[in-house]
Structure 1
């Protein structure tokens, strides 16, 4: 059979798919960093850039040595236990789920500014469904859409930056220095930078996505996607924070109105409504691109988990375009259910989103360490130094601690509590799947302890009934033929199948000295033997004349009572009366 070869993704396509996710962070991470770190927000975003630079080598080494889909799951699967790998996979799945729902909902909110009559929940479901269908259509087709969105996003940010630079060249950057000279938020510079860094790490969500579909990329593309994503995050996020601090006062920036629409407000301030509308459209598109990233990434991850028999093989079914459509449909259903459960208040998913992807990054770093220790001989195109790995893990761990310990808004649950609400059921399912043999054996033992006594009784009854049936069916029957045609013989078979209990029939032809076997008779009997597989037909030729003595002799020889022997209706020329044959039965 001819195998269909699927086109691999080039650098631009692969970068666009994962880049839409990580670059969409510019829409919220600058405002978030300013909310916690104030005038030091751009510093925290630069620190994030340094941490991400360390992770470039970490990801490059692990995926270079193990170029398979699955990201942290793949790294841990090949260096530690399947349980630990599944733990990482569960975190990755939750991260993708939260990313898909939050990004889709936020995208619709941006579009809602332009189309106010649009229903938020239904439009979000529609957007999720569109990208699910697009992913089912194939990764190549998905990549085309991702490229268009990515390039439009970069162009929109370039236009916004151009207007801001022109505006600042006219008005000056005095506002930036006024904000800089304000007292440190959070009570101290250290606390402000720590909390700002913890919040700013949200801006690198999506960096792990490329590792989850590395098998779909051309050779040598993966490290380039890491480089490109790092450049985008390192330039755009700190730059937008600096621009914001140069345009507005710190109290205004930390107000609730600017938290979700900072770039739109900046665009409106420096260029009017059309720039604000451009950014709103861009936000809708790039957040939609983040939804696409989630579908592509989760497809590669869950397909790998299914191949490793952690998930049921049901999910491995592919369509003609090579897409695991059952995985995509399942993820779509999960995302929609989460949206409906939260009733569109996706802020509840922030804890899941934050803790999940930061934990995945930590586990990837641990996977790198285990790869160095346990898989030294594996060739790899690049290596991360021990100090860089330990520094990167420590930095992300601090960010994770910061996000867990952040004081939530009034009446809002903590990040950790929301995360656990989703994580615990997911990991229980995975643990059940990993230990399903043990659990099934336990269930069997319980069933056996209850039903074995009944089963033994049933088996004894069953055995006796079968023995009785076999004894009845073991009785052989005999039909004496005169060389009848197949139609007559078929009537014999119909009579026996309807009226007698047997598995074997002897068809006997008595041949006188000068008689010969009818030409077609053996073939016809062989045909009937095939047509009635439940009865074994044996064709026997006996030398001699058909008479009462022959009947008695064969009955004694085969131990078959004469009343189990049949003949057809004799003609007028038959020399014996029926009663002289000893009880032979007429059946036709």
Structure 2
């Protein structure tokens, strides 16, 4: 009964896994939001052939469905490209993929929030884009910290609204064409190709359109939070959405909007299409949807980066500090750190979309290419590992070649953005390199300290011995006070003088006693003073004779105490000698 109770308790505390709709919504908001900008971008390079370029992208994505399905099916752990390379190659190559993925998520979060706030600004002009962007980032940080269940609930609502809005736009555009004909399409189709040839136009359009599948890799970064069998369905769903809406919307734009107007409306081309086909209500509906779905893409970034960095922390690439979870199972330190990174990037780039787009484009394409390479390595190095499906080797090679072509095309289209990407990649990878080699660096630091410490240690030991000996020497010096049998008040002043002005541990108090004198009272007083000044050892000495230069010389030689370390009180008028005759004895009273 006890065992059963414990088992039930464990089952109750086990976090709930994401179903197909929830998982698709989280990563689908990112990939489906691409239609808001990728159609305009592709038309600007491929013109009337943009929809064909987008169909080629859909073909590439179809190839990657099986590539991702095979890899994650064989190794169903968070991390995406990092995960497969970690299990098939070196930790350094895997860390490079992870760094690129984080950069991609960072750029996605900032770009999506900025773009979303630009759409909001088009509705409410009083909205400050920068401040609103920060608010969005903070809001979705809070949502991500609440847990993936709450994040999924919001993501599903946004996802459904977005698909509904896109469907309304498609039906409105088809209705518009049914009533107005294809005159605009015929005009656009006859326009000369800007790039000189159809193949060049298709290549450049394809390169630009590859941004339309960013987010496809996100599902692999939180696969552990998904129910069994859901991952492959998310790939299928994302592919279907992108393969339908992106080419269809691009074709509808070519049919309805003159290509000359695309440049003027490139930031909100779908809103312009809605305004043309349905009126103001549809334009506003699309703008509101754009705000929501772009914010949903921000959420995708937070969920994806949390899964990736928690896996990297478990693999000891990042400090264990990031593994701390709240009661909802969220790695809140990772999420909060990602927020700080995003806000810092926002201020460093001053919200420059082009600079961020460079990081976004090349990071994403490199991650996709590395995932394909990881699939090939999995085939060669982990042949016996069971997997639910297999991608043919030739299809993987073709998919990777498509990615390389898109990368080269984007370098030609955005050379400055490529260098911006390098500027961000180098410091990010340097940090990861330090973490990977931290034991070596710590050992190097230890060796360096040892190297410099050894000669210093000798110097310190020698100096310590010398100074200790010198200090003992100074403190071992004895002093003498000649007393005539003074009372305790005078002797106390003597002690105060010695304590305040001399460095010594011993004072000899000497009395030259005459016949018949008794020092009982003096001895009692000195015992009191000895207790009052425990740091100074008081030694009382009685001598017979007459105080004068002879006895001072005798005691100085006998005790090896210089005469200037011998004290007397001020002599009276009846004193037989002048002070100068005493050989340097000091007057202290």
TM-superposed CA distance for 1:458, in Å, is 5.3
CA contact (8 A) 1:99 1:291 kept: yes
**Local SS of the residue matching 1:185:** coil
Q: Which residue of 1 aligns with 2:224?
A: 215
- TM-score normalised by length of structure 1: 0.76
Distance 1:342 1:370, change over 3 A: same
Q: Which residue of 2 aligns with 1:551?
A: none
TM-superposed CA distance for 1:336, in Å, is 0.4
- TM-score normalised by length of structure 2: 0.76
Q: Which residue of 1 aligns with 2:381?
A: 374
CA contact (8 A) 2:33 2:294 kept: yes
Matched, 1:172 2:181: yes
CA contact (8 A) 1:99 1:290 kept: yes
TM-superposed CA distance for 1:348, in Å, is 1.2
CA contact (8 A) 1:10 1:218 kept: yes
Q: Which residue of 2 aligns with 1:513?
A: none
CA distance in 2, matches of 1:329, 1:11: 27
CA distance in 2, matches of 1:310, 1:39: 48
Matched, 1:11 2:52: no
TM-superposed CA distance for 1:448, in Å, is 1.0
Q: Which residue of 2 aligns with 1:189?
A: 198
CA distance in 2, matches of 1:281, 1:5: 37
Matched, 1:29 2:31: no
Q: Which residue of 1 aligns with 2:450?
A: 448
TM-superposed CA distance for 1:346, in Å, is 2.5
CA contact (8 A) 2:29 2:294 kept: yes
Residue 267 of structure 1 is aligned with which of 252, 271, 274?
274
TM-superposed CA distance for 1:341, in Å, is 1.1
Residue 403 of structure 2 is aligned with which of 396, 400, 409?
396
CA contact (8 A) 1:194 1:402 kept: yes
CA distance in 2, matches of 1:403, 1:387: 24
CA distance in 1, matches of 2:360, 2:102: 10
> Which structure's CA Rg is the greater one?
2
| Residues 233-276 of structure 1: CA deviation (Å, up to 9, x unaligned) | 000000000110111212222x2x22110100000111111111
CA distance in 2, matches of 1:358, 1:54: 15
Q: Which residue of 2 aligns with 1:150?
A: 159
CA distance in 1, matches of 2:368, 2:92: 17
CA distance in 1, matches of 2:454, 2:102: 42
TM-superposed CA distance for 1:182, in Å, is 1.8
Matched, 1:342 2:375: no
CA contact (8 A) 1:369 1:389 kept: yes
Matched, 1:312 2:319: yes
**Local SS of the residue matching 1:187:** coil
Q: Which residue of 1 aligns with 2:509?
A: none
Q: Which residue of 1 aligns with 2:437?
A: 435
Residue 122 of structure 1 is aligned with which of 114, 119, 131?
131
CA distance in 2, matches of 1:456, 1:431: 36
TM-superposed CA distance for 1:438, in Å, is 1.1
Q: Which residue of 2 aligns with 1:521?
A: none
| Residues 429-477 of structure 1: CA deviation (Å, up to 9, x unaligned) | 0011101111111111111111123335657999999xxxxxxxxxxxx
CA distance in 2, matches of 1:174, 1:151: 34
Q: Which residue of 2 aligns with 1:481?
A: none
Q: Which residue of 2 aligns with 1:280?
A: 287
Q: Which residue of 1 aligns with 2:65?
A: 56
Residue 53 of structure 2 is aligned with which of 27, 44, 48?
44
Q: Which residue of 2 aligns with 1:385?
A: 392
CA distance in 2, matches of 1:250, 1:119: 31
CA distance in 2, matches of 1:115, 1:463: 79
CA contact (8 A) 2:354 2:417 kept: no
TM-superposed CA distance for 1:424, in Å, is 0.4
CA distance in 2, matches of 1:150, 1:459: 72
CA distance in 2, matches of 1:61, 1:23: 23
CA contact (8 A) 2:169 2:274 kept: yes
CA contact (8 A) 1:339 1:346 kept: no
**Local SS of the residue matching 1:117:** coil
Equivalent pairs, count: 459
| Residues 260-295 of structure 1: CA deviation (Å, up to 9, x unaligned) | 101000001111111110000000000000000000
Distance 1:443 1:179, change over 3 A: same
RMSD: 1.7
Q: Which residue of 1 aligns with 2:310?
A: 303
| Residues 65-113 of structure 1: CA deviation (Å, up to 9, x unaligned) | 0000000000000000000000000000000000000000000110111
CA contact (8 A) 2:33 2:297 kept: yes
CA contact (8 A) 1:44 1:197 kept: yes
Matched, 1:78 2:57: no
**Local SS of the residue matching 1:8:** coil
CA distance in 2, matches of 1:230, 1:383: 18
Distance 1:325 1:463, change over 3 A: farther
Q: Which residue of 2 aligns with 1:515?
A: none
CA distance in 1, matches of 2:260, 2:137: 36
Q: Which residue of 2 aligns with 1:514?
A: none
**Local SS of the residue matching 1:73:** helix
CA contact (8 A) 1:136 1:325 kept: yes
| Residues 485-536 of structure 1: CA deviation (Å, up to 9, x unaligned) | xxxxxxxxxxxxxxxxxxxxxxxxxxxxxxxxxxxxxxxxxxxxxxxxxxxx
Gaps of 5+ in 1: 466-588
**Local SS of the residue matching 2:23:** helix
TM-superposed CA distance for 1:198, in Å, is 0.2
TM-superposed CA distance for 1:344, in Å, is 1.8
Matching of residues 349-498 of structure 1 within 5 Å:
349-406=356-413, 408=414, 414-455=416-457
